[in-house]
Amino acid sequence: MARYQPGIRTEARIIAATGELLAEAGLDGTTLKAICDRAGIKAGSFYNLFSSKDEAVLRVVREAINAVDPHPEGSGPDTIAELVEAYARFITEQPVVARIYLQIAVRGGLTDNAMAARFLRHHEQRVRRFAAALAGDGAPDRSELIRAEVLVGTLNGLAFRWVLRPDFDFRTHLTAVPIDGRLAAGDVPAR
């Protein structure tokens, strides 16, 4: 870990460079050389601060995952509309982080176990949260868990579509997502 000022600044530049590359070029494009070139350092400096390339990538991914839900679970009476809106804000207001999150979700899930596990844990947590909102009072039943999984699946599906082509209008399509018989658009509170 960095102790002196130069090291602290370098560490920050490495994290920034890694994040930008993950969003722009995906996991394949995020090579050690690319990170170092963008951060303006040599490989040796990188390994003075990080023990491996994966450490830097995981740091960025972890931050991206945490950025999805700013306030922790249970810290407020979530409604479905609020949860959907939070997802939409994540996509539209933090596109770089969102791209990292989704890329790692699928990419990491296919090959790397650590990333897949991390993403799945977070996914399940989110589904529980959606299910709780569907249930209102009391614990969600099986039907509500399934409906929550489908709703989160829809959001993820549209988000993947957006990753494939960034000009895909996530918000517009969100208005056609059915929630409890109504459409999401009508439920989204004004910002």
Contact 37, 18 (CB under 8 A): no
Q: Is 113 in the site for DNA (CB under 7 A)?
A: no
Say how many C-beta atoms besides its own lie within 10 A of residue 146's C-beta: 14
End-to-end CA distance of the chain: 40
Which of the residues 11 through 70 are near a second copy (CB under 8 A)?
Answer: 25-29
Q: Is 154 in the site for a second copy (CB under 8 A)?
A: yes
Q: Which of the stretches 7-15, 48-56, 71-79, 171-179 binds a second copy when contact is defined by CB under 8 A?
A: 171-179
Contact 67, 94 (CB under 8 A): yes
Q: Is 157 in the site for a second copy (CB under 8 A)?
A: yes
Which one, 5 or 75, has the nearer CB to DNA? 5
**Which is it for the CA torsion 96, 129, 152, 180, positive or negative?**
negative
Q: Which does 172 bind (CB under 5 to 8 A by kind): a second copy, DNA, none?
A: a second copy
Q: Which of the stretches 31-39, 60-68, 101-109, 137-145 binds DNA when contact is defined by CB under 7 A?
A: 31-39
Which of the residues 1 through 30 are near DNA (CB under 7 A)?
Answer: 2-10, 30
- Contacts with 131 (C-beta within 8 Å, 6 or more apart), sequence order: 140, 144, 145, 147, 148
